Structure 1
Amino acid sequence: MFDTLQDRLQSAFKNLRGKGRLSEADIDSVAREIRVALLDADVAVPVVREFIANVKERAAGAEVSQALNPAQQVIKIVNDELVRILGGETRRIQYAKNPPTVIMLAGLQGAGKTTLAGKLGLWLKEQGKSPMLVACDLQRPNAVTQLQVVGEQAGVTVFAPEPGNGVGDPVEVARAGVAEARRTLHDVVIVDTAGRLGIDAELMQQAADVRAAVDPDEVLFVIDAMIGQDAVVTAEAFLEGVDFTGVVLTKLDGDARGGAALSVRSITGRPIMFASTGEKLTDFDAFHPDRMAGRILDMGDMLTLIEQAEKAFDADQAAKDAEKIMGGSFTLQDFLKQMEALSKMGSMTKLIGMMPGMGAMKEQLANFDEREVDRIKAIILSMTPAERDNPKMIDGSRRLRISKGSGTQVKDVNQLVERFFEARKMMQQMAKGGGMPGMPGMPGLPGAGKRAGAKQKPQQKKKGKRVSGNPAKRAAEATATPPAADAANAFGFPGQGGAADFELPEELKDLM
């Protein structure tokens, strides 16, 4: 969503690199480019004015003029200001002292409230809570049925006494839902209310009546991050009519310009608490202003990546896998388990996009085929347990059978097996040597395993090459060319050919 803003900001910072000191003209120039970038991203004009004023004031101060690297200081200032307008600190749910905690969802129709109710329910369930969804959207066709389906997918109880489709009183359903949650010992109640295509008095009155009936601990305003400048008008209307306590951004995986995320917090003064980034129920998490600012400035989001990895990977299993890698007994079955755990973290495109500096590879990430992971799984699952444990036994006939069973070609099976052996060897070398091949500590390479400062044996003077006494033979030896394999082996690895012997994976060929 923030790709355009990210590109424009990176372009603005590029002109500052290499400058030892920033003049007033330099500051004005970069401020102008940042202003254009924010306006182009649909950020509200008042927010842009305040943002630029703060950046210029700080950039003209001593913190930049005395800095060794002014460009990095300006990036830091912009990052700090982004974090500030996004809320500063992560805002957590304030749970009631006496359960159940009541969370009311409000927003326009189409913002994704019903799906979000299921996502929030699943998220709370993972936090150790016992949530219950209450279907109070009785106006939109099949809204109650949709909430029931979403609740079943999330494994969360749904309270829906009315069929909806224009039948039933949402205020009475909300009141009965809280009473039912108290009776059945659910500690969190999520009330899904009705929306409209636009702001009207009936919508606001119904939302206000539901709020008065259940006295919620949190009122979350659900807003579509793709609606642009309308986000400010809608947010102000709901703030006045319902007085929400937090904001939830949906559809952050869209291709819109995303200015709503940067505007709502500053205009309403209410924190952004959650963000929805996809269609799956797991594509949902707490909103962290500092991490979002890092993504916008292409600094990555390693903390979120680590948190997702901790959820998906078992620490004990990871330790066992490390021991297997050290002992050279890592198998395709172990590799399959790791791929399945990786799939739980989300799409590969999103995971790679969280790494710093990936903004320069947007095109390659956009063209990445997520189905490649499924094809690899299909190949491994088409193998017998014995073949997964000992891939060396996979001969030609077995590879043909595996390719037919997985719906792939024999060359795909060949590539997977060959790359597996190469990867296992490299991981084993890195685990033993403590670094990449060619770095100190790697066995079999010059200087490998030698401690710094250790005494080295004096090298004996090498004997010169023996020269034949026969003049004709001596002339033939002088004009002979060295073996092609040794000549191409520029890296000096024993028994390994040159660059012509290396076959790049297809994914890397596309990046070259």
Structure 2
Amino acid sequence: MFENLTERLSRTLKNVSGRGRLTDDNIKDTLREVRMALLEADVALPVVREFVKRVKERAVGTEVSKSLTPGQEFIKIVQSELEAVMGEGNEALDLSCQPPAVILMAGLQGAGKTTSVGKLGKLLKERDKKKVLVVSADVYRPAAIKQLETLATDVGVDFFPSNVEQKPLAIVKAALEHGKTKFYDVVIVDTAGRLHVDEEMMGEIKDIHQALNPVETLFVVDAMTGQDAANTAKAFNDALPLTGVILTKVDGDARGGAALSVRHITGKPIKFLGVGEKTDALEPFHPDRVASRILGMGDVLSLIEDLERNVDKKEAEKLAKKFKDKKGFDLEDFRSQLQQMKNMGGMMGMLDKLPGMSQLPGDMKDKVDDKIFMQMEAIINSMTKGERARPELIKGSRKKRIAAGSGTQVQDVNRLLKQFTQMQKMMKKMQKGGMKNMMRQMKGMMPGGGMFPGR
């Protein structure tokens, strides 16, 4: 997410951060670079103009001239203006009304509306402990109704049945009535998308909006459409009283232009980011954290939240007890660690949130390939329970069987066993309390040191 913009801005701001004094000339050069970086990231031109103007006003004003470190103060200004463009803080859903609270989802076809309904249903059920009902009013795409039903089953929320013979208005009215009689907290309505904004579509969604009077009308838009995302959001905002935006496919957008343009152009906050295909890949949007990531400063708060949410407390306690009782670290434990890492968006998802990761060389990033971790898990799955508990049993013929069972080569099995042995040694150092020894071990496990295998 935002790789191109992060790289360009980090390089530009690095040149100014060490300056003891900022002059009109070096501010002018830096601002030109910032402007180019934003335009290349597909940020809408009016947003770029306003952003550069505000940074310039503050940079050549008293803020920087009074600062002891003008270069760093300039970066702080850029960061605070990035936050201002995207919104001052996270704006949560407003569900304070007589239940059920209705959330209406709108957007073009292919933006990820139906998937977002499922993700949002899961988030509200698990984090906010809400009783959620989802319904599809998309009668033009038969697969849409089935898709939502399957998603609802996957995430464990209730689905209100509908079919292509029904009128969208009749579907949503019946769903709302059902939501009231069965005491649901939230009803999420998926509406039909079109390939472009048209009158018929807008007329239909206006009627649905009027019938439901939703507390939240969320516009779902694909981040990868760049400036068009902001323009489409504006067209919907002119027709409907939108309360917020869900920006999808952010993980596939290296530019980030949509995230920086939508708020400014529509005046509506981005409430969530879709950051992957999994049903839990929906994050509340925090402008300050995103601004920090864009400037290569990481997002440690989100990483901590991921850890708290995804680390299996029972597994962690079990491992801690093993340590305390001086019992060994086996391949079962290793697999459990790999699975927990996967739950947090994989190694790359975690690294993206750490400060300074944008400065990592490309070839080093390539070594941190989540497919390798999936392969490692497959190899362990191919072993017997006894082999996982006693890896020293795994010799020639067993290695061949494990490789065949996991669709890998014997050398892949050897590599995994070598990495496991390194991890085991590190765990022993931790048990003995030798922190210095452990740190030395960890250095050897960094890219280039053997833990992350090259391709």
TM-score, normalised with respect to structure 1: 0.81
Residues 382-438 of structure 1 show CA distances to partners (whole Å, capped at 9, x for unaligned) of: 333233223334444544443444343443333323332222222332454463338
Which whole-Å CA distance do the structure 1 matches of 2:157 and 2:186 have between them? 11
Residues 284-309 of structure 1 show CA distances to partners (whole Å, capped at 9, x for unaligned) of: 12111111112211111222222222
Which whole-Å CA distance do the structure 2 matches of 1:33 and 1:509 have between them? 35
Structure 2 match to 1:243: 241
In the alignment, which of 252, 255, 258 is matched to residue 260 of structure 1?
Answer: 258
In the alignment, which of 186, 195, 198 is matched to residue 196 of structure 2?
Answer: 198
Stretch of structure 1 that moved more, 42-51 or 415-424:
415-424
Which whole-Å CA distance do the structure 2 matches of 1:434 and 1:267 have between them? 56
Structure 1 match to 2:227: 229
Structure 2 match to 1:484: none
SS at match of 1:253: helix
1:330-409 correspondence runs (5 A): 330-361=329-360, 363-364=362-363, 365=365, 368-409=368-409
1:192 Cα deviation after fit: 0.9
Which whole-Å CA distance do the structure 2 matches of 1:226 and 1:402 have between them? 41
Stretch of structure 1 that moved more, 283-292 or 337-346:
337-346
Which whole-Å CA distance do the structure 2 matches of 1:251 and 1:384 have between them? 39
1:20 Cα deviation after fit: 1.3
Structure 1 match to 2:328: 329
SS at match of 2:225: coil
Which whole-Å CA distance do the structure 2 matches of 1:4 and 1:312 have between them? 29
CA pair 101-401 structure 1, distance change in 2 beyond 3 A: same
In the alignment, which of 263, 270, 274 is matched to residue 272 of structure 1?
Answer: 270
Structure 2 match to 1:136: 137
Structure 1 match to 2:49: 49
SS at match of 1:132: strand
1:132 Cα deviation after fit: 0.9
Residues 434-454 of structure 1 show CA distances to partners (whole Å, capped at 9, x for unaligned) of: 633388xx9xxxxxxxxxxxx
Give the letter aligned to residue 311 of structure 2.
Answer: F
CA pair 124-33 structure 1, distance change in 2 beyond 3 A: same
1:362 Cα deviation after fit: 6.9
Which whole-Å CA distance do the structure 2 matches of 1:252 and 1:38 have between them? 17
Structure 2 match to 1:437: 437
Residues 354-384 of structure 1 show CA distances to partners (whole Å, capped at 9, x for unaligned) of: 2222213373435644332232223323333
Which whole-Å CA distance do the structure 2 matches of 1:374 and 1:509 have between them? 15
1:68 Cα deviation after fit: 3.6
Structure 2 match to 1:297: 295
Which whole-Å CA distance do the structure 1 matches of 2:419 and 2:230 have between them? 52
1:508 Cα deviation after fit: 5.6
1:245 Cα deviation after fit: 0.5
- 8 A contact 1:325–1:424 mirrored in 2: no
Higher helix share: 2
Which whole-Å CA distance do the structure 2 matches of 1:380 and 1:195 have between them? 44
Structure 2 match to 1:453: none
Structure 2 match to 1:505: 450
Which whole-Å CA distance do the structure 2 matches of 1:238 and 1:410 have between them? 56
Which whole-Å CA distance do the structure 1 matches of 2:132 and 2:356 have between them? 39
Which whole-Å CA distance do the structure 1 matches of 2:453 and 2:18 have between them? 32
CA pair 323-152 structure 1, distance change in 2 beyond 3 A: closer
Does 2:6 align with 1:6? Answer: yes
Which whole-Å CA distance do the structure 1 matches of 2:405 and 2:453 have between them? 27
Between the aligned residues of both structures, percent identity stands at: 47
1:217 Cα deviation after fit: 0.6
Does 2:158 align with 1:157? Answer: yes
Q: How many residues align?
A: 446
Which whole-Å CA distance do the structure 2 matches of 1:170 and 1:438 have between them? 62
Higher relative CO (Cα under 8 Å, sequence separation at least 6) belongs to: 2
Structure 2 match to 1:465: none
- 8 A contact 1:328–1:424 mirrored in 2: no
Which whole-Å CA distance do the structure 2 matches of 1:332 and 1:435 have between them? 23
Superposed CA RMSD: 2.5
CA pair 434-172 structure 1, distance change in 2 beyond 3 A: farther
Q: Which has the larger radius of gyration?
A: 1
TM-score, normalised with respect to structure 2: 0.90
- 8 A contact 2:218–2:243 mirrored in 1: yes
Structure 2 match to 1:21: 21
Which whole-Å CA distance do the structure 2 matches of 1:28 and 1:89 have between them? 29
SS at match of 2:328: coil
Which whole-Å CA distance do the structure 2 matches of 1:85 and 1:206 have between them? 32
Structure 1 match to 2:418: 418
SS at match of 1:235: helix
Which whole-Å CA distance do the structure 1 matches of 2:255 and 2:371 have between them? 28
Residues 176-217 of structure 1 show CA distances to partners (whole Å, capped at 9, x for unaligned) of: 111111112221101111222222222221111111101101
Which whole-Å CA distance do the structure 1 matches of 2:383 and 2:27 have between them? 62
- 8 A contact 2:378–2:406 mirrored in 1: yes
SS at match of 2:250: coil
1:351 Cα deviation after fit: 2.2
- 8 A contact 2:367–2:453 mirrored in 1: no
- 8 A contact 1:94–1:218 mirrored in 2: yes
Structure 2 match to 1:93: 93
Which whole-Å CA distance do the structure 2 matches of 1:96 and 1:255 have between them? 34
Which whole-Å CA distance do the structure 1 matches of 2:170 and 2:454 have between them? 62
Which whole-Å CA distance do the structure 2 matches of 1:88 and 1:150 have between them? 33
1:262 Cα deviation after fit: 0.7
Structure 2 match to 1:218: 216
- 8 A contact 1:123–1:285 mirrored in 2: no
Residues 313-334 of structure 1 show CA distances to partners (whole Å, capped at 9, x for unaligned) of: 1334324323434625222211
Structure 2 match to 1:111: 111
SS at match of 1:274: strand
SS at match of 2:130: coil
1:95 Cα deviation after fit: 1.0
